[in-house]
Amino acid sequence: MEAGETSTRIQNKRPIPTHFLSLPLGHHEALKTRVSAFTNALLAADPPIVGLEESVIIEPARLHITLGVMHLDKSSSRPPSPTLASSSRQERGEASSTKTVADALSLLERIRPMVLDALSEGAESLNGTLRVPLDTIGVLQTDKKQTAH
């Protein structure tokens, strides 16, 4: 391997996520009860399910949906360190790809009204129920068979 190959691999490596955006579900009592019943039934299966151990089952109170993962700069006050990639972006008039916790919080605040609207519309159409099909894999679709974006 030549020296140039090593530096290219390092530059192309994705940064390790530092922050996760998740929607907690542990406060939903009915969901916790159903998940507990489901996992208890799995653990009590006769014959036992091969490879299923109690240690891999999480407590229903810890349930969440991960909405996204991010790599954010640790400091919201310092400017991003200049790199070859960021220098070329600046020359083209593009924004820096380095994001901070403050940037993420600002984005969340801007999209908050849209999320609340979507949740209220969804609650009306679902009559308060949560539907999660476990027998198919594909792109999420609405009840009207429209592809969700």
Asked if residue 9 is part of any domain, the answer here is no
Asked if residue 83 is part of any domain, the answer here is no
Compute the distance between CA of residue 10 and CA of residue 6 in angstroms, rounded to an integer: 6
Asked if residue 44 is part of any domain, the answer here is yes
With 60 as the cut, is the pLDDT of residue 25 above it? Answer: yes
Percent of the chain with pLDDT over 90: 11
Compute the distance between CA of residue 23 and CA of residue 108 in angstroms, rounded to an integer: 13
DSSP run (H or E) holding 38: helix 29-43
Average per-residue pLDDT in the chain? 70
β-pair partners for 19: 70
Mean pLDDT check: name the lowest of 2-11, 80-89, 119-128.
Answer: 80-89
Residue 122 structural domain:
98-130
Asked if residue 113 is part of any domain, the answer here is yes
Provide the b/e sequence for 86-123 (b: ≥16 CB within 10 Å): beeeeeeeeebebbbeeebeeeeeeeeeeeeeeeeeee
Mean pLDDT check: name the lowest of 65-69, 92-96, 110-114.
Answer: 92-96
Asked if residue 125 is part of any domain, the answer here is yes
Number of structural domains found in the chain: 2
Asked if residue 40 is part of any domain, the answer here is yes
With 60 as the cut, is the pLDDT of residue 94 above it? Answer: no
Q: Return the structure tokens found at 107.
A: 């984005």
Structure-model confidence comparison of residues 116 and 75, the more confident one: 116
